[in-house]
Amino acid sequence: MVLSVAVAGASGYAGGEVVRLLAGHPDLRVVTVTGHGSAGRALGEVQPHLVTAADLVLQETTPAVLAGHDAVFLALPHGASGALAEELGDDVLVVDAGADHRLSAESDWSAFYPGPWHGAWPYGVPELLTADGKQRDALAGARRIAAPGCNASTVALALAPAVAAGLVATDDLVAVLAVGPSGAGRTLRTDLLAAELLGSAAAYAVGGTHRHVPEVLQALAGTGRPRGTLSFTPVLVPMSRGILATCTARLAPGATTERVRTAYEHAYGDERFIRLLPDGVLPTVQQVVGANTVAIGLAVDAAAGRLVAVAALDNLVKGTAGAAIQSANIALGLDEAAGLPIDGVAP
């Protein structure tokens, strides 16, 4: 039985990626798409690469339009999903790719986002370690899912095994990320223009102001360790998509290269969408573009007494749309890998 899907915000990057990936899904079919300024136009006019869904007409994003589907994916700006989701029935699976339902503490929301807090939904990072197992346990049978922030899930997955095993101090976490501009969405901004990006790199949202900071700390505290601190510095670089996160943490007494490696192999050795690279090998963004995978390389800086975990993923696939679909598969009792590519695209 094929289940019907509506994608709100299909005219944007994240929503368009949901449509693209679902085109190859054996059990989910996109039958309704919505957009904001593009309502009334064919999807193929706005997203010409989406050939299989080109004839779908973008509709207004309203509860009435989204009602009656088996699953609804919300790829909307932050603050736009909360009230809308409250109008959808409990019988439909709703996956929010925005930030509205990620944070479990109202104080975290208020410190980083405007508007009302709408509460937390199960977090859509299945492989993330928790105090009792993995996050996928909370997704089975769920009717509401909060897809992750792309930067947040990259850093959380890179550090969680070491944090959970007590191999690093949580009060001295550092992450520096090279990120592509598609993470900002399909919007016209001067700093995202090619003329501003090409041949340059620019740090932004520095000094603890990036909205993904509380999301990372929440995810890592979910492993059962004390909530720590994170110095988080994203750097905008001229690649259309992708994240390369270099994450470091101070090693705890007794932590060794062997113990670190064992912790990561135990955490991710059986995961289909996380590739733990061999010793001495670090990931590149190119190897994960188009794939629903995270590639992680490890090193121990003995002189500095720090763990170095480098993670790469495609921010629009594993960082957003792929994570949303993977989580939806679990919630619906489908094959977790259905519709999701493992091979990347090169060159």
The DSSP result for 66-122, as a single string, is: HTT-SEEEE---TTSSHHHHHTS-TTSEEEE-SSTTT-S-HHHHHHH--S-------
**Following CA atoms 30, 32, 33, 36 in sequence, which dihedral angle do they give, to the nearest 10 degrees?**
-160
Token pair in block for residue 290: 């188009």
Strands 71-74 and 93-96, sheet pairing:
parallel
Q: Which residue has the tokens 């090169």?
A: 346
The DSSP result for 226-290, as a single string, is: PP--EEEEEEE-S-SS-EEEEEEEEEPTT--HHHHHHHHHHHHTT-SSEEEPPTT----SGGGTT
Q: What is the DSSP letter of 345?
A: -
Token pair in block for residue 116: 């009302």
Rounded distance, CA 158 to CA 179, Å? 16
> Where do you find CATH 3.40.50.720 in the chain?
3-121
- The correct CATH number of 3-121 out of 1.10.10.10, 3.40.190.10, 3.40.50.2000, 3.40.50.720 is 3.40.50.720
Predicted local distance difference test score (pLDDT) of residue 188: 67
Q: Strand, helix or coil at 175?
A: strand
Q: Are 257 and 167 in contact (CB under 8 A)?
A: no
CA angle at 227 for the pair 224 and 230, rounded to the nearest 5° = 130
For residue 205, count other CB atoms closer than 10 A to its CB: 15
> Where do you find CATH 3.30.360.10 in the chain?
151-315
Q: Catalytic annotation on 150?
A: yes
Q: Which among 112, 20, 7 is positioned nearest to 341, based on CA atoms?
A: 20
Reported pTM: 0.96
The DSSP result for 11-24, as a single string, is: TSHHHHHHHHHHTT
Helix (H) or strand (E) holding 331: helix 322-331
Q: Strand, helix or coil at 138?
A: helix
Beta bridge partner(s), residue 232: 175
Rounded distance, CA 124 to CA 138, Å? 9
- With 0-12 CB in 10 A as exposed, 13-18 as middle and 19+ as buried, what is 63? middle
pLDDT tens per residue, the chain (347 residues)?
899 999 999 999 999 999 999 999 999 999 999 998 899 999 999 999 999 999 999 999 999 999 999 999 999 998 999 999 999 999 999 999 999 999 999 999 999 999 999 999 999 999 999 999 999 999 999 999 999 999 999 999 999 999 999 999 999 999 999 999 876 667 767 777 777 778 889 999 999 999 999 999 999 999 999 999 999 999 999 998 999 999 999 999 999 999 999 999 999 999 999 999 999 999 999 999 999 999 999 999 999 999 999 999 999 999 999 999 999 999 999 999 999 999 999 88
Q: Are 218 and 109 in contact (CB under 8 A)?
A: no
Residue type, 78: H
- Find the catalytic residue in 8, 53, 94, 150: 150
- Report H helices in 115-236: 136-139, 150-164, 194-197, 213-221
CATH of domain 151-315: 3.30.360.10
Cis ω on the peptide bond leading into residue 77 (within 30° of 0)? no
Q: Which residue has the tokens 């992750």?
A: 148
Predicted local distance difference test score (pLDDT) of residue 191: 74
